[in-house]
Amino acid sequence: MASKYEEIYNSLLDKIRFGYYKKGDILPSEYDLMKEYDASRDTIRKSLQLLSNNGCIQKHKGKGSIVINSNIYNFEFGGIFSFKEVASKMYGKVETIVHRCECIKPDSLVKTALKLNDDDKVWAIERIRNIDGENIILDIDFINASIIPFIDENILKDSLYEHIEKNLQLKISYAEREISCEKINNNDKKLLDLKDYDMIINVESRTFLSDTRVFQLTSARHRPDKFKFRDFARR
């Protein structure tokens, strides 16, 4: 169950995303928000700090909290989430379009990354993530078919990780990731709505089961204006 400050944060975020508060607007004062949400000052400040951390508002001393962005999607970089789990926290229309799903012999790079034998095959998958009518993300996956023997379009449109963990009873444990900024390629141009961008954010990852077997190699290609990746670190 969400805490009080998270409920207030989600309510304010809804109002920003759906245009009740527009870019440049000043949010109500802490006192007015305390009355509106029947909450303490500390709770309101926690909610506003979360909005600030996520790039939605900028606090100005003497002015209040100013809306600076209503169109950011956050991806937690420190965890392992299916797109279905991420999408459940988004606002607006989210759709997965399956562009490719076939079982193939891998090339040498994929074979090495997934630690495959000569006779092993992989699922080659391409999924487009459409958000609010725009093709924003291209997910390219290679999945060890010896570990995940069956995948179809219905599974991919719903949740691959849910299929792996619930139907196959395999535990997804950890991932190695690398972020880079790359020039767009012809496949990006064909499948994504890139506007005038000629660069793309690529998040490459290998994902492992609890028994340390690597089963998935992913290249998630993001249009750069829509996303920020958020992590948490402690010394």
Provide the token pair at 125: 């998958």
Q: What pLDDT does residue 235 have?
A: 56
Whether residues 35 and 85 share a domain: the answer is: no
Asked if 42 and 113 sit in the same domain, the reply is: no
Q: Do 196 and 134 belong together in one domain?
A: yes
| Whole-number average pLDDT of the chain | 86
Q: Are residues 153 and 170 in the same domain?
A: yes
Task: Note the helical H segments in the chain.
Answer: 4-17, 30-37, 41-53, 83-87, 108-113, 153-158, 160-162, 186-191
Tens digits of residue pLDDT in 87-125: 444 545 788 999 999 999 999 999 999 999 999 999 999
Q: Which of 44, 31, 35 is nearest to 5 (CA)?
A: 44
Report yes or no on 88 lying in a domain: yes
| 40 compared with 158, residue with greater pLDDT | 40
CA distance 190 to 101: 17
| 202 and 222 inside one domain | yes
Are residues 199 and 126 part of one domain?
yes
- Same domain (yes/no): 145, 115: yes
Q: Is residue 187 domain-shared with residue 121, that is, in the same domain?
A: yes
Q: What is the pLDDT of residue 113?
A: 96
Strand 214-222 versus strand 227-230 pairing type:
unpaired
Greater pLDDT, 18 or 149:
149
Is 197 part of a structural domain of the chain? yes
CA distance 216 to 122: 9
CA 178 – CA 206 distance, rounded (Å):
9
Enter the tokens of residue 193: 């709505």
Would residue 175 count as lying in a domain? yes
Residue 219 within any structural domain of the chain: yes
In a domain, 214, yes or no: yes
Report, in this order, helix, strand and coil percent for the chain, each rounded to 5: 30, 35, 35
Q: Is residue 235 part of a domain?
A: no
Helix residue ranges per DSSP H, 168-224: 186-191
- The CATH number of the domain where 39 resides is what? 1.10.10.10
pTM for the predicted model, two decimal places: 0.66
Is residue 188 domain-shared with residue 174, that is, in the same domain? yes
Range(s) of the domain holding residue 221: 73-230
Tally the domains of the chain: 2
Of 47, 67, 87, which residue constitutes the final position of a domain?
Answer: 67
159 and 115 in a single domain? The answer is yes
**Spatial distance between the Cα atoms of 199 and 70, rounded to a whole number of angstroms:** 23
pLDDT in tens, 124-153: 999 999 988 999 999 999 999 999 999 999
Of the three residues 23, 52, 67, the one that is the final residue of a domain is 67
| 89 lies in the same domain as 179 | yes
Choose the final residue of a domain: 18, 39, 67. Answer: 67
Indicate whether 37 and 89 sit together in one domain: no
Any idea what the CATH number is for the domain that residue 173 is in?
A: 3.40.1410.10
